[in-house]
Amino acid sequence: MSLTETQDGPLPSTSFAGASGECGTPWWKGAAIYQIYPRSFQDSNGDGVGDLAGITRRLHHVARLGVDAIWISPFFTSPMRDFGYDVADYCGVDPIFGTMADFDALVAHAHALGLKVIIDQVYAHTSDLHPWFAESRSDRGNPRADWYVWHDPKEDGTPPCNWQSVFGGPAWTWDARRRQYYMHTFLKEQPQLNMHNPAVQDAVLGAARFWLERGVDGFRLDALNHAMHDPLLRDNPPAPTDGRVRTRPFDFQLKTYSQSHPDMTGFVERLRTLCDQFGAVHTVAEIGGDHPQADRRAYTAGDHRLNSAYGFDFLYAPALTADFVAETLQRWELAPHETGGWPSWAFENHDAPRAVSRWGPSDPRQRDLFARVKMALLMALRGNVILYQGEELGLGQDEIPFEQLQDPEAIANWPLTLSRDGARTPLPWDDAPLGGFTAGSPWLPLSSGNLARAVAVQESDPASLLHFTRELLAMRKGHPALRHGPLTDCKAEGALLSFERAQGGQRLRCLFNLSPDPIALTEPLTGEVVLAVNNATLSALPAYGALWISS
């Protein structure tokens, strides 16, 4: 059986023969990347937790979508306090996910299918069980004593400054062995690395080299603007009230000094230099915070820093409106292109509630219409697009009862929190009770609503969102204007969003009705209809209708 065709049907054509695509453009520019959360993708051994062998088994589904790359969330050795984002060995595979041989087999199979492989790198912190931290906390004079952020208490014994943890409470924990506090932006089991220390930078770059030598094609850089702190430990100022419900002390501060230190760009340049030694390796930074745009621009400026960055603009947005989309896009597009960087966009991921539940109407039929216009909008954006596993199926946010929660943030801040578990439930491959995910007891439950949207169910329906997503990805790949062209003339007029994408002699006008009410198009539209979503026409956009028009 050939690599380009299996019993499940032919694969879309790919163009990954070298480091660049058409006209010498790097493969990653305009790419569609599929995020895999390994715990919930496919379990191969019946323990209820997804693993690397399971990913390899199901990669054909991803390749058939027509994406360019996969991003695999952490699979490294970890006590799993934060499900892999608390790394205990940067160069090891946690046994729950398999072995290094399983990882090598996954990379080989992905490459055979025409898929690039991107993995997470977590440089802001490690697990408290990492050998580096065990040595660092042993005393104040050991070789790694300054590898983490330690500081004496104030005279009254309180922490050295007012910084707060994302997961609740102070960002400082007392350690009796050193008689000092150590910093942790997230869980107390995730001590902060001191990335100001050149030896620490050398160590994490050594880990990056390890994976590059094993054949990975890029890195997604977790919480990168959290990785350097203000050495003077100045107090963060209070955040002004903005009407939102504050569920954590973290929300009461502007993170002026606890993140976004300007020296981080020096490390970014070192990482880019390393990646350039391995060819067209893609680097994309996760940039969070209240005002992330400055960091996104700084980290992606020029040709000597990262390739791309994304934030939480859409991931935490409560509604998808034309005004909001236009404002968000213009934060990138208004910057000069030579300094503004190349954006990446995600509507869903493992840290945010499913978009169809967050943005879509409650009526199931209307929600199906919304899922299509949402997907068409994502595929029309300038930059890279990131699809989260199950987004191609229109999976909804699962409600996880408190007694079944696994997410430490949801448990700590119950009930007023996002509950990331609801977006991390296993991917349903069929509509059997366990969804074809496992032969055991799944680590999180599968809902009947999402089982009804399983891969096998949608494969048998030519009108399904799964088939529609494949069509959109093929169109994006086949239209240089969508993949590489600038985004211009962006307008929001009520619920109507419109913009143009152009490249060479090709020009596409893209229109989206982001409401359940029809919109009559008063100005006559001309041109070839490339895409009509939900029965849209040149004269009217019905509920959640969209058009791509070539001129």
Q: Degrees (nearest 5) of the Cα angle 465, 467, 472?
A: 90
Q: Catalytic: 222? A: yes
| Max Cα distance, the chain (Å) | 75
Contacts for 526 with CB less than 8 Å, ≥ 6 apart: 538, 549, 551
Separation between Cα atoms, residue 500 and residue 341, nearest integer Å: 19
Decide if 351 is catalytic: no
Start-to-end CA distance of the chain, whole Å, equals 42
Q: Of the residues 68, 286, 407, 500, which is catalytic? A: 286
> Using an 8 Å Cβ cutoff, are 309 and 274 in contact?
no
In Å, what is the CA distance from 233 to each residue of 104, 140, 443?
43, 19, 40
Residues near 142 by Cβ (< 8 Å), separated by ≥ 6?
135, 136
Spell out the residues 6+ positions from residue 538 whose beta carbon is closer than 8 angstroms to its own.
Answer: 521, 524, 525, 526, 529, 547, 549
Measured distance CA(531)–CA(520) in Å, rounded = 18
Positive or negative, the CA dihedral 263, 265, 266, 270 is positive
Tokens of 519: 């919109």
Sign, Cα dihedral of 52, 58, 63, 67: negative
Catalytic residue among 51, 82, 222, 500: 222
Q: For residue 339, what are the CA distances in angstroms to 42, 156, 297, 306, 548?
A: 41, 47, 7, 12, 29
Strand 384-388, strand 496-503: pairing = unpaired
Helices (H), 426-464: 448-451, 455-459
> Hey, which residues are catalytic here?
222, 286
